[in-house]
């Protein structure tokens, strides 16, 4: 299993952890995509592509980067995401569009643009969110992540049997995004999780690794929730 | 009544987003008025059987409905989704949608499926 793997939102948080996990394996050429400038993995090899994935130019730049590696594309992790929370009654058109464009539009457009480069088969992992099951104040975010689930299912059917497509739906993970939540609110959220703690980016990366590699060779079209049991409580 | 039926879309993001945005506009207007609303989708789209664009719209609406239902539960308005298959009687589908939009009798955040094609398939 040798080839290139693209991961979006690679600069920070869950994406960063996934990129580091992949880059530690010399079989992979990791292409890290992010709008943020702090790309690059110390001590590891990663091809940095700093672009805006909501534009055609950004998507084309990623495709060119894959072609320039000379290695077949074997994996794609659509991870880039933002949140602009508000109650539905107060949500602005701008916040609605921004979240949809980044969380869903980029995954849709990039997947469409890259799958023909998976000439030797491959695996696509879309990072959804437990919020696809519903979450207060996140109409836009929840809709975008629900759309990612539909994208995953349609691609799984359309790209079988050579390419597998799955989704990971993280719950509350200890990233910068979570740390921005007020402490008292965060405490209540953690108390509602059966495992009584936030997840770590590493725990999400482990599941992404499983879905990218032949360990999951008979799984496609699946959504794996990584949320400490929160969907039950 | 606040009932949204998405139009079929192709594999173009701008077209897909426009359909989701139409749903958002209806949702926000209804929520601001304190009124219930309903999305009507095809069951095949919830499972991704009729293209990525239509799948994104259907599953995006289902998730948005679940979130809006949480917000509406505190205010007394409901949000539900009706899914139908090719064998479903259109009048029955409309009847369910109108009933849920008018007075859902405490049912909210639910997916009501008209027709048997979902049996034995994944839970959306």
Q: Give the whole-angstrom CA distance, residue B88 versus residue B77.
A: 27
- Closest residue of A to B33, CA-based? A89
Contacts of B71 in chain A (CB under 8 A): 87-89, 136-137, 139
Q: How many residues does chain A have?
A: 233
pTM score > 0.80 for this model? yes
- Closest residue of B to A98, CA-based? B17
- Closest residue of B to A138, CA-based? B67
Count of structural domains within chain A: 1
* CATH code of A31's domain: 3.40.50.720
Across the range A145-158, mean pLDDT stands at: 98
Query: B3-114: CATH homologous superfamily?
Result: NAD(P)-binding Rossmann-like Domain (3.40.50.720)
User: Is there a domain that residue A194 lies in?
Assistant: no
What residues does each domain of chain B span? 3-114
Mean pLDDT by 10 residues, chain B (124 residues): 97 97 98 98 97 98 98 96 96 97 94 93 85
Average pLDDT, chain A: 94
Are A104 and B60 within 8 A, CB to CB?
yes
Q: Which of A139, A140, A164 should be substituted to probe chain B, the one whose Cβ sees the most B Cβ atoms within 10 Å? A: A139
Q: Give the whole-angstrom CA distance, residue B9 versus residue B26.
A: 18
* CA dihedral for B51, B57, B60, B61, sign (positive or negative): negative
User: Is there a domain that residue A137 lies in?
Assistant: yes
CB within 8 Å of chain B, chain A residues 20-49: none
Are A145 and B28 within 8 A, CB to CB?
no
Q: What is the pLDDT of residues A11-37, one digit of tens each?
A: 989 999 999 999 999 899 999 999 887
User: Is there a domain that residue A98 lies in?
Assistant: yes
User: Is there a domain that residue A126 lies in?
Assistant: yes
Across the range A83-88, mean pLDDT stands at: 96
Cβ distance A147 to B63 under 8 Å? Answer: yes
Across the beta sheet with A3-8, the strand order is A46-50, A28-34, A3-8, A73-78, A122-127, A163-170, A223-226
- Torsion angles phi and psi, residue A158, rounded to 5: -75, -30
pLDDT at A176 over 90: no
Contacts of B47 in chain A (CB under 8 A): 153
Angle between helices B52-73 and B13-32 (to 10 degrees): 20
Cβ distance B79 to B22 under 8 Å? Answer: no
A56: Cβ contacts below 8 Å, ≥ 6 apart: A109
Q: Give the whole-angstrom CA distance, residue B69 versus residue B124.
A: 16
Contacts of A164 in chain B (CB under 8 A): none
Whether the bond into A161 is cis, omega within 30 of 0? yes
User: Is there a domain that residue A190 lies in?
Assistant: no
pLDDT at A179: 85
DSSP string, A138-169: BHHHHHHHHHHHHHHHHHHHHHTTTEEEEEEE
Q: What is the pLDDT of residues A35-66, one digit of tens each?
A: 887 777 665 678 999 999 999 999 999 999 99
User: Is there a domain that residue A187 lies in?
Assistant: no
Q: What is the pLDDT of residues A94-151, one digit of tens each?
A: 999 999 999 999 999 999 999 999 999 999 999 999 999 999 999 999 999 999 999 9
User: Is there a domain that residue A83 lies in?
Assistant: yes
Residue A100 structural domain = 3-172+201-226
Tokens of residue A190, six digits: 């953690």
């Amino acid at each position: 299993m040798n080839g290139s793997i693209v991961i979006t939102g690679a600069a920070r948080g869950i994406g960063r952890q996934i990129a580091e996990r992949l880059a530690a394996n010399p079989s992979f050429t990791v292409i890290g995509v992010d709008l943020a400038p702090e790309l690059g993995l110390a001590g590891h090899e990663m091809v940095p592509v700093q672009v805006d994935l909501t534009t055609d130019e950004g998507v084309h730049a990623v495709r060119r980067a894959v072609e320039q590696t000379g290695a077949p594309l074997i994996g794609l992790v659509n991870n880039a995401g933002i949140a602009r929370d508000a109650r539905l009654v107060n949500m602005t058109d701008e916040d609605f569009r921004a979240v949809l464009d980044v969380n869903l539009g980029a995954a849709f457009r990039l997947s469409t643009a890259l799958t023909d480069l998976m000439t030797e088969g491959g695996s696509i992992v879309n990072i959804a969110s437990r919020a696809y099951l519903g979450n207060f104040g996140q109409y836009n975010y929840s809709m975008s992540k629900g759309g990612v689930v539909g994208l995953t299912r349609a691609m799984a059917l359309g790209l079988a049997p050579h390419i597998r497509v799955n989704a990971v739906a993280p719950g509350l993970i200890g990233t910068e995004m979570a740390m921005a939540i007020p402490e008292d609110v965060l405490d209540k959220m953690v108390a509602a999780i059966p495992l009584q703690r936030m997840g770590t980016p590493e725990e999400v990366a482990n599941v992404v690794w499983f879905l990218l590699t032949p360990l999951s060779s008979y799984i496609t079209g699946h959504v794996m929730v990584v949320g400490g049991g929160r969907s039950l409580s | 009544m606040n009932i949204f039926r998405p139009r079929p879309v192709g594999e173009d993001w701008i077209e897909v987003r426009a359909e989701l945005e139409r749903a958002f506009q209806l949702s926000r207007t209804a929520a601001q008025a304190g009124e219930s609303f309903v999305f009507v989708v095809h069951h095949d789209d919830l499972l991704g059987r009729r293209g990525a664009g239509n799948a994104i719209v259907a599953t995006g609406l289902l998730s948005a409905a679940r979130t809006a239902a949480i917000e509406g539960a505190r205010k007394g308005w409901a949000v539900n989704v009706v899914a139908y298959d090719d064998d479903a009687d259109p009048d029955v589908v409309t009847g369910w949608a109108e009933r849920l939009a008018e007075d859902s009798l405490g049912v909210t955040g639910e997916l009501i499926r008209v027709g048997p094609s979902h049996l034995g398939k994944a839970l959306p």
